[in-house]
C-alpha cells in the first residue's frame, strides 16, 4: 500500500512537471509575450521597444532557463539599468538592496511570482480565490451528493418501474444541460423581470456574505449538471446489486422490501458512486469556471479566465498547478478509497 501511494505520488509529480512545462511553453510563445509587453507597457510600442522590454525582464532567455527560474533551480535574472545604474531582478523586491537579494526565487523557495493582472503576489491571489471556490464547491457537494444518491437509489431499487422511468428521464435531461444553458434558464426564470425575482442574477456579493438569495443559483447550476451523471451511475450499481443472489435469498426469507434496500443493498451499491463522485471533481472545476464567469463570482475559475485572457504567465502557472493538483489528488483518493470500501480488491 505504501509503495503504491509512493509510486502514485511520483507519477503525480512527473505529470505536474510536464503539464506546467506545456503551459509554460504555450504562454511563452513570442506572440503571447508581445501581447503581454504591449498590455503591460504601452500599446503603441515599436518592435524594438517590445524586444528591449522583454529582454530587460528576462523573457527572451531560452525556455529551459526560464522554466528553471520559475521552479527555483536556476538563478533569477538581473538587469542593470543603463540610465540610472539601478539593478533590477526577478528576486529583487522593490526597495531591496540587490546585494542582499536571494539568488534563487522559484516555487521551491515558496515564491510563486507576481501577477501582472492583479498587481499582487500570485501566492496570495491564488490562495484567496481558491478559498472562495472551496466555499462554492462545498455547498455544491452538500447539494449534489445526497440528492444524486437518493435519486439513483430510488430509481435503481425497482428497475423498470414508473418511478425509475421518471427519475432516469430527469437524470438524462440534467446531463444534457450544460451549465451555461441551465444558468441562463435559471436566471431567466428565477432572477429576472420576466420571471419571478426570488434570487439575484449575480453572486459577486456572495464572496463576502453568502446568503441563500445570492448563492443558491450558482450552486444549483453546478450541482445540476453533476447530479444526473452520479445518479445514473448509482442507479446502474443499485440495479446490479438488486439482482444479486443474496438479495433474492433475503426476499425468499421474507425480509421486508424496506429492510432489503436499507440493510442489504444500499451499502454494496454505494461503492461504485464513490469513485464517480471523486472523479467528478475535475468536471466540477470546468463547471466552476463557467458558472463563476456567468454569475460574476470572483473565485478560482474567474481568476483563471482573467489570467488566461491577459496572458498573466505566473498566475496561469499557479492556477494550472492548483488544478492539476486537485485532479490528481482526487484520482489518488478514489483509488485508495476504493480499496477500503471494497475489501475484495488488494493492491500490492
Partner 1 sequence: MEPLTWTGSLSVLNPIFLGLWALLGVSVLAQIVTSFFGTEVDVVGDQLVVKKTPNALAGMAVKYSFIGAVLITLAYLVGGILIPGLEAKGIIGIMATRFLPVWIALAVTFALSITFKRKLGLYGKLFDSVVGMIGFAIVMFWVFTAIFGAMDFIVTHDPLSQISGLKNKVPGTAVPDGNDVYPYYLLGGDNLARDVFSRMVKGSWEVIKIAPFATLFAFMVGITLGLPAAYYGGKLDTILTFLANLILAFPVILLFYLLVTPEIVATGIPVYMAAVLFIFPIIFMVILINSRFYVQPAKRNIYLAFVLVIGLWLYAGIAWNADPFGIIEFPPNLLVVFVSVVFVNSPTVFRIVRGIALDIKTRDYVAAGQTRGEGPWYIMLWEILPNARGPLIVDFCLRIGYTTILLGTLGFFGLGLSPESPDWGSTINDGRKLLSIFPHPALAPALSLMSLVLGLNLLADGLREESLRD
Exactly one of 4, 32, 109, 240 binds partner 1 (CB under 8 A); which one?
Answer: 32
Q: For residue 117, state whether it binds partner 1 (rule: CB under 8 A).
A: no
d(CA 143, CA 125): 28
* Distance, CA of 74 to chain centre: 30
Cell numbers 426570488 correspond to what residue?
198
Angle between helices 300-309 and 271-295 (to 10 degrees): 60
Applying CB under 8 A, the site for partner 1 has a residue count of 56
Tell which positions 248-287 bind partner 1, by CB under 8 A: 282, 285-286
Cβ atoms of 89 and 79 closer than 8 Å: yes
Tell which positions 2-31 bind partner 1, by CB under 8 A: 11, 15, 18-19, 22-23, 26-27, 29-31
Q: How many CB atoms lie within 10 A of CB 124?
A: 12
Alpha-carbon torsion 182, 183, 184, 189, what sign?
Answer: positive
89 or 237, CB closer to partner 1?
A: 237
52 or 296, CB closer to partner 1?
A: 296
Exactly one of 115, 237, 303, 320 binds partner 1 (CB under 8 A); which one?
Answer: 320
**Rounded alpha-carbon distances, angstroms, from residue 75 to 70, 78, 104, 146, 151:** 10, 9, 5, 51, 56
**Window contacting partner 1 (CB under 8 A); options: 43-51, 74-82, 169-177, 205-213:** 169-177
Cβ atoms of 56 and 48 closer than 8 Å: no
Residue 181 CB, nearest approach to partner 1 (Å): 4
Q: Which residues contact residue 148 at a Cβ distance below 8 angstroms, ignoring those fewer than 6 apart?
A: 226, 227, 228, 230, 231, 234, 273
Q: Which of 67, 23, 24, 32 is nearest to 50 (CA)?
A: 32
Q: For residue 166, state whether it binds partner 1 (rule: CB under 8 A).
A: yes
Q: For residue 328, state whether it binds partner 1 (rule: CB under 8 A).
A: yes
131 or 184, CB closer to partner 1?
A: 184
d(CA 203, CA 284): 18
Residue 86 CB, nearest approach to partner 1 (Å): 32
102 or 134, CB closer to partner 1?
A: 134
Residue 55 CB, nearest approach to partner 1 (Å): 19
Binding site for partner 1 (CB under 8 A): 11, 15, 18-19, 22-23, 26-27, 29-32, 34-35, 161-163, 166, 172-173, 175-178, 180-181, 184-185, 187-188, 191-195, 201, 282, 285-286, 289-290, 293-294, 301, 304-305, 308-309, 311, 316, 319-320, 323-324, 327-328
Amino acid at each position: 500500500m505504501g509503495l503504491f501511494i509512493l509510486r502514485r505520488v511520483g507519477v503525480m509529480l512527473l505529470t505536474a512537471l510536464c503539464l506546467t512545462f506545456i503551459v509554460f511553453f504555450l504562454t511563452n510563445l513570442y506572440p503571447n509575450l508581445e501581447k503581454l509587453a504591449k498590455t503591460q507597457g504601452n500599446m503603441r510600442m515599436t518592435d524594438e521597444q517590445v524586444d528591449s522590454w522583454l529582454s530587460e525582464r528576462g523573457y527572451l532567455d531560452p525556455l529551459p532557463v526560464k522554466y528553471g527560474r520559475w521552479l527555483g533551480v536556476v538563478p533569477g535574472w538581473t538587469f542593470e539599468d543603463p540610465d540610472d545604474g539601478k539593478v533590477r531582478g526577478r528576486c529583487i523586491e522593490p526597495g531591496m538592496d540587490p546585494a542582499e537579494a536571494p539568488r534563487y526565487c522559484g516555487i521551491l523557495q515558496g515564491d510563486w511570482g507576481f501577477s501582472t493582472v492583479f498587481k499582487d503576489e500570485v501566492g496570495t491571489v491564488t490562495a484567496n480565490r481558491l478559498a472562495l471556490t472551496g466555499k462554492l464547491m462545498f455547498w455544491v457537494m452538500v447539494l449534489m451528493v445526497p440528492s444524486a444518491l437518493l435519486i439513483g437509489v430510488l430509481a435503481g431499487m425497482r428497475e423498470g418501474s414508473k418511478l425509475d422511468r421518471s427519475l432516469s428521464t430527469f437524470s438524462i435531461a440534467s446531463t444534457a444541460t450544460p451549465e451555461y444553458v441551465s444558468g441562463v434558464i435559471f436566471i431567466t426564470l428565477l432572477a429576472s423581470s420576466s420571471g419571478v425575482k426570488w434570487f439575484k442574477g449575480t453572486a459577486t456579493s456572495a464572496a463576502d456574505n453568502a446568503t441563500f438569495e445570492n448563492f443558491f443559483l450558482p450552486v444549483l447550476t453546478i450541482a445540476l449538471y453533476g447530479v444526473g451523471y452520479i445518479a445514473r451511475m448509482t442507479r446502474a450499481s443499485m440495479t446490479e446489486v438488486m439482482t444479486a443472489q443474496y438479495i433474492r435469498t433475503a426476499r425468499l426469507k421474507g425480509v421486508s422490501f424496506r429492510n432489503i434496500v436499507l440493510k442489504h443493498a444500499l451499502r454494496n451499491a454505494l461503492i461504485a458512486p464513490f469513485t464517480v463522485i471523486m472523479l467528478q471533481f475535475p468536471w466540477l472545476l470546468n463547471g466552476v469556471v463557467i458558472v463563476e464567469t456567468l454569475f460574476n463570482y470572483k473565485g478560482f475559475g474567474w481568476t483563471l479566465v482573467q489570467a488566461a485572457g491577459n496572458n498573466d504567465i505566473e498566475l496561469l502557472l499557479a492556477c494550472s498547478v492548483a488544478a492539476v493538483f486537485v485532479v490528481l489528488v482526487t484520482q489518488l483518493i478514489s483509488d485508495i478509497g476504493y480499496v477500503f470500501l471494497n475489501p475484495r480488491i488488494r493492491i500490492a
